[in-house]
Amino acid sequence: MYDIQRASMLKRISAFLLDFILMMIAVTGFAFLLSLVTGFDGHNAELAAKQSEYETLYGVDFDIDPADYEKLTEDEQKKINDAYEQFAKDKDVIKSYNMIFNLTLLITTLSIFLAFMLLEFVIPLIFKNGQTVGKKVFALGVVHTNAVRLTHVALFARTLLGKYTIETMVPVIIVIMMLFGSGGMTGLIVLGLILVLQLFVFFKDKLCTPIHDVLSHTVCVDLSTQMIFENADELIKYKEALHKEAADRADYF
């Protein structure tokens, strides 16, 4: 049909879940390969060895449970605090910690990027009509909001700017920074704003499109009923033909 045949929410969710599972598998695989190349485990081992060295030297346990820590005497707590303070000042510890933080960002960023480019760009180029594996299975596709076939540029923008950068990497980087003790309230506010923005654009648009579709002017459709035009000129010609047909019928009656 000519008008936009928006895919049902059930089909969209089903396709998303399948794509999400494949994405996690791809990210894990790429992350494993990158960790081997960058020697990530070696830096973790160095930091663990340094921690063990200070724990043995001071006779403490840095991984003590908070509840057990509260049960210690003031002298025992001070001993742990002093030991950790010296541990945190060690140049080798600082170097290993910084390397682990930087490599975590690098590996996470690259592995997610490669997974997105494979599953959300390369495969849709092969399948055509913006179809991921999930969309292929459930007969869904992606077209421009005027039913014109999705261009490579729009697909790239949809994948890289919308899905990868705004919807995925910004939240992931904030979470990583918070896990390493930075970001704090600012990170939570940014995460909240992204969530609010996603909900706003989703429910504001009658087509219920997320951020990545709004940015690329695209929509997920049911290919079993959707008519797709190769370009805007073909769309105009089709509209003109419909108009002429309607005019001819009016004259006849």
pLDDT (tens digit per residue) in 131-174: 999 999 999 999 998 899 999 999 999 999 999 998 999 888 88
> In whole angstroms, what is the distance from residue 17 CA to residue 9 CA?
12
Inside any domain, residue 26: yes
Helix (H) or strand (E) holding 142: strand 140-144
pLDDT band at 1 (very low <50, low <70, confident <90, very high): low
Say if residue 136 is exposed, middle or buried (CB neighbours under 10 Å; 0-12, 13-18, 19+). Answer: buried
Report which of 99, 82, 103 is spatially closest to residue 91, judged by C-alpha positions. Answer: 99
pLDDT for the residue 250: 63
Half-sphere CA count of 166, side-chain side, radius 13 A: 19
Inside any domain, residue 80: yes
Half-sphere CA count of 221, side-chain side, radius 13 A: 25
**3-class DSSP assignment, residue 5:** coil
Structural domain for 27, as ranges: 9-252
pLDDT for the residue 144: 93
Inside any domain, residue 93: yes
Inside any domain, residue 4: no
Inside any domain, residue 2: no
| Count: domains in the chain | 1
Contact (CB, 8 A) for 69 and 77: yes
**Token pair 């506010």 in the structure block, residue:** 189
> In whole angstroms, what is the distance from residue 95 CA to residue 92 CA?
5
Inside any domain, residue 3: no
Q: For residues 32, 34, 36 and 39, what is the CA-based torsion angle, rounded to 10 degrees?
A: -130
Task: List, for residues 7-58, the tens digit of each pLDDT value.
Answer: 888 999 999 999 999 999 999 999 999 999 999 999 999 999 999 999 999 9
pLDDT band at 183 (very low <50, low <70, confident <90, very high): low
Fill in the DSSP letter of residue 137: H
Q: Is the pLDDT of residue 253 over 70?
A: no
- Segment 80-104 shows an average pLDDT of 93
Inside any domain, residue 1: no
Inside any domain, residue 40: yes
Residue type, 160: L
